[in-house]
Structures are given as structure tokens and as C-alpha cells.
Structure 1
């Protein structure tokens, strides 16, 4: 093996060795589980959450079990939370202090005792029972109250960091609570409220606030939205999403990204259609983007990443190949001349 091939072989072996030592992230166990003890008035016996048929003035104790599967003592915050719809169009049980929709008359926190929110400590490899109590209002409720039991792991104390930063992992479980006083479900509805230009993670959007003012869950919601100039038909920006959901008596902001489109100040029209089950909704509404709004947003918007110049890369690659070919030719000619002597 000549010297050049030895060098190439050594370089290749070094690269393979480095590739074999790239660090990988291993999945770490959460270290605990949460389970609901379903009572006799459970409607869906197969569900892992509380789906309860109750009545006015009824008081009931609900039980969950927190199992610590780790070899150390762990502590948890247990909270009763109201189900809302987040801006991704997902029913969310994790918000401890959510902004409640104005159509919500009786929320989950109105019926659960304050003692239901508690700190629980579970010894290593042990299980603890946690009790939560609710009392229904005297007046019969239409539809459902939807919320959850949110169990959040309290991070343990960490050793003095050896690097410039540390990461504390904390995990949470949510068990749904669905309370209703009738087996007859209430159909959800969809209303369109404020339309505005805004910024999400330093990216410009047009958002449409959509509300479900009824005490019924909306599932498999599909939305198709587009924006035009007032009186025009050309679509400037659009967004389509399916598989969305909405909690009872909640609202969320459906985002339509600007992307790389130029959407300056002016008069626009939102065309939005939605479908859930057998229901359809259609909205057409004009809105205004003010000059001051555009100027303010342009100061903080994230600059789009410049696309790489592939032609330049191709030219550089060609030049490198040509240079290598010339070096190879000179090396071959020099060796051939030496052997001819």
C-alpha cells in the first residue's frame, strides 16, 4: 500500500471512530404513574378518566392513586383545572390559571373544594391515595363541566452544577373530569369574534378568535381560512387544519401565517369555513390592519433564513474536483518520469 492510500485509509478510519462515539440521548423513566378509581356512576366503564353522571346538590369524593415507581421519595402538586382550548386547537387540561371564556357560567373550580388542590409526598416504591371532593350547584346544569386532575412532579434538589447551566426535568399527568346531569349531549356551536394581525414567536400572523359558547365538546373540527383584499378574489394567505377540538364554553385564536407574503396595512377580508360532524359554519368578514401595527411588528419579526446558494456550492465543488484532477495528473506524470529514467 503506497503512502497516499495509507493516509486516506487512516483518515477514513478516524472519521468512523468519531462517528461511533457521537453521544445519544437515552429515554429516562418518568418514575411515577397516576390512576383514577372509577366510581359507580361512571358512564364509560372503559375510560381511564372520570365520566360521571351526577345531579343537582350532589356531593362526591373522587379518588386517584399516585404510584412512585422510583427508588427515591417524590413530591407532587395536585390541582383541579378547567379544560380550555389552546391556540393549537387542542383541549388543554394543564393550565393552572387559564383565561376563562365569558360564556362559562359554572367552572370546575366552582364546584371542587379548595382542599382538592394539595401537595402530596409519596415514599419510594409506594402508592398514595388522593381524595378530591366536588359539590354540584342547586340549579340543574345544561350540558357538561369539563376539567381535569393535574398531577405535576416537583423536581428534586440537584447537585451543584459542573457546567454553566442545568436542566431540571419535571413531568405531569392529567386525568379528565367530565360531569353531566343528563345523558342527552349538548351540541357545540362556533362563533367568529376578533380578527387581528399579531405576532407569535416573532412570526407574523392573522388570527381569528373562534368561540364555542355551548357546554358541549367539539371534536374533529376542520377549518379552512383564507385572506383577500376587500372586494378581490386573489388569495393572499391561507391556512387549513383538521383534527382540532374545542372544550365546552371556550375560545382560541386560529392562526393564519403570513409566511413570506407581503401583507401591508390596508383593508382585508377573511373567508373562513369550518366543519365538525354534521355541522358546517361559514364566515366572511372584513378587517383592517393599521399602519402602526405593521410598523410595530416589522421591528420585532424574525428575519427569514436566507436560502443557500446551491449554484455557488456546485461551482466550488467543480473547482475542487478540477484542482484534485490537476494534482493527480501532476503526481502521475512526475512518478512516470522518475520510472522512465
Structure 2
């Protein structure tokens, strides 16, 4: 539970936009902050919103926006459903939740989904939302959060990097939300691999496979270590590729791409087996998922080329050279015999 709390308390982030790219940076430079407003059905003063309720009941949730600047500002608060980013951790910074097993989206049971408030200099304003607990009964958690950004039209802070690049900073801060029907729920995640496909990164000259790992239930664990191992089928003990991830926390009913880098090894067509072992940080829970997959000749050639590996045609030149030598020898023997026959 302590790790669960730390995850949400630490979910305060700043997004720095440089040209068309974005990079996560320290949020402590922002001029505003968030504080949870605890209701009667709040489970502990944990630093995030964690409520329970009977099916069909309606509850108010709120976060306080604190303006630390010397002038007033407008802020926009959006409620988003939790999803898993490609670092394997729960996120709610955008409307990106999209998984086949996700039947109830937190965003869809909250009204309004977004609102803009004006906060006076040095002041604070509560941003309130109405949550209707789903009528259908469920076990586990609905998770997401409130993402607060400076409203459209607010001036962005600018800084200059050491190389003279002008950075326009847009700060995003979040308040986690957990909703459950059973206040004693401790439901754990469960995993399966949906697909395994090749990938390539031309910039980093990387190639390998990505396994789409899915938490297909409404369970959650805040800290899980994972190790993926790829071997060839049938049992080829000479080939093995591994990739580890630490302290991942996949959102309920979500998926993400687990990358297994091939290193300097080119992709080769063939049949493979993937095994991913996941263990909770406290060692009390573990999961093992397996998946067979195949890399085709076309995909191997395509992704090797995309990653910067040039096709090696040395074998073809060697074969041509051998054929030429055999042809010359054959012609020599043929004409030699014919000349000998004519002389006789």
C-alpha cells in the first residue's frame, strides 16, 4: 500500500516542448500545485483520491489548485482514464486509454470531463467533479486521474538551454483517482501476451521484437519486476535474448509494448518462444506468461534494413565464383579431351 501511495503522490510531471518533441522534466519549477480534497468515503489520507461507493451512487471528488504566482492564472482540469505507457507504468496524462478488456472508462462516469477555473494570485480554488459509481457490479479498481495544465491562452514559460535552444515549458500536474465498489478490494493484475512483432529503430540502429503485454483484469500492483526471455524453437540453446524492466505498474485493463532488443544480432527468420516472468516487489505474487511467435523472411529483411543492416551478399559472390571455376574446369576438360581425340 505504501508503494501504491508513493506512485500517485509522485505523479506530478512537467512536459517541456522543444519544437515538435516532448521530454519529461522536473515539475518543481512550476508556479502551481495540487492538493486532494478528501470526502466522507475517502479511504485514508493518502495524497490521492481513493473512494468507494455502492453501485449507482453519485459522489463528489475534488482537487485544490494552488496558484503560487504573484498574478492570477487560468487552469484547465481534465479527467482521464488510466493507461500504461511504454515504460510500463500507470499514466493519465492524456485520453489514451484503449484496450479490448477495458469495458468501463473512468472518464465516462465523471461529469464534467473537463473544466477551466481562474485562480487568483497566491490563492486556491477547488475543482469539483461528480462521479457515478457504475450500476454493474465489478471487482477491483477503476483508475485514472485529474491532469491540470495552464489554460489555452496562458503564456508559457520560456528558458534557454546551454546550446542556445529556446524552450517553451508547459507544465502538467496530476492527481490520481481510484474508484472501487468494495473498499477492502486488493485485487491483483493478471497478464497475457497479445502479440509479438519485430521492430526497428533507425536512429539507434536497434532491432528486436516487441511483445504487447496486457493486464486484462481490474487488478493493480504498484511495483513489479519483469524479465523477458526469447529462445528459438525447437530447443536451440545457442540463441537467447533477454530484457528486464523494474518497478513497472500496469494500469487495470491496459496494455503496453515490452521491447526485447536483439543487440548487434540481425533478425533471422524462424520460430521463437517468448517467456515473461513477473514478480511483485515484495515477492508475494508472481506471474509467468508464454507466447510462441514466428519471424518471416520478409520481416527479417525489412526490419534489418530499417535498423541499418545492409544485406550481405558475400555468399552469393562466393557461389558465383565457384560456379565460374567449375565452368572453366569443365570447358577445359571438354576441349582437352576433344583435342586429344582429334590428334589420335
TM-score by length of 1: 0.73
Cα drift, residue 177 of structure 1: 0.7
Deviation sequence 1:73-117 (CA, Å, 0-9, x none): 3232210011111111111121x221421111111012101x240
Q: Secondary structure at the match of 1:240?
A: strand
- 1:216 and 2:219 equivalent? yes
Distance (whole Å) between structure 2 residues aligned to residue 151 and residue 291 of structure 1: 48
Question: Which aligned pairs between 1:70-219 and structure 2 lie closer than 5 A?
Answer: 70-94=69-93, 96-113=94-111, 115-154=112-151, 156=155, 166-182=166-182, 183-199=184-200, 202=203, 203-219=206-222
- 1:297 and 2:298 equivalent? no
Cα drift, residue 131 of structure 1: 1.0
Q: Secondary structure at the match of 1:292?
A: helix
- Report what 2:41 is aligned to: 41
Deviation sequence 1:210-252 (CA, Å, 0-9, x none): 1111111033222221222212122432112232111111111
Whether the 8 Å contact between 2:201 and 2:307 is mirrored in structure 1 is: no
Distance of aligned partners of 1:136 and 1:104 in 2 relative to their CA distance in 1, 3 Å threshold: same
Distance (whole Å) between structure 1 residues aligned to residue 56 and residue 261 of structure 2: 47
Whether the 8 Å contact between 2:200 and 2:303 is mirrored in structure 1 is: yes
- Report what 1:260 is aligned to: 264
Which runs of no fewer than 5 residues in structure 2 stay unpaired?
Answer: 1-25, 310-344
Distance (whole Å) between structure 2 residues aligned to residue 293 and residue 261 of structure 1: 15
- 1:56 and 2:60 equivalent? no
Distance of aligned partners of 1:120 and 1:256 in 2 relative to their CA distance in 1, 3 Å threshold: same
Does 34-43 or 238-247 show the bigger shift? 238-247
Structure 1 residue ranges (4+ consecutive) displaced by more than 6 angstroms after TM superposition = none
Deviation sequence 1:138-183 (CA, Å, 0-9, x none): 2222221111011123451679x9x996321011111111111112
Distance (whole Å) between structure 2 residues aligned to residue 121 and residue 263 of structure 1: 55
Which runs of no fewer than 5 residues in structure 1 stay unpaired?
Answer: 1-25, 304-341
- Report what 2:341 is aligned to: none
Distance of aligned partners of 1:74 and 1:291 in 2 relative to their CA distance in 1, 3 Å threshold: farther
Distance of aligned partners of 1:76 and 1:293 in 2 relative to their CA distance in 1, 3 Å threshold: farther
Distance (whole Å) between structure 2 residues aligned to residue 248 and residue 157 of structure 1: 34
Corresponding residue pairs, total: 273
Distance of aligned partners of 1:302 and 1:244 in 2 relative to their CA distance in 1, 3 Å threshold: farther
Larger Rg: 1
Distance of aligned partners of 1:300 and 1:290 in 2 relative to their CA distance in 1, 3 Å threshold: same
Q: Secondary structure at the match of 1:187?
A: coil
Question: Which aligned pairs between 1:324-339 and structure 2 lie closer than 5 A?
Answer: none
- Report what 2:12 is aligned to: none
Whether the 8 Å contact between 1:116 and 1:133 is mirrored in structure 2 is: no
- Report what 1:243 is aligned to: 247
TM-score by length of 2: 0.72
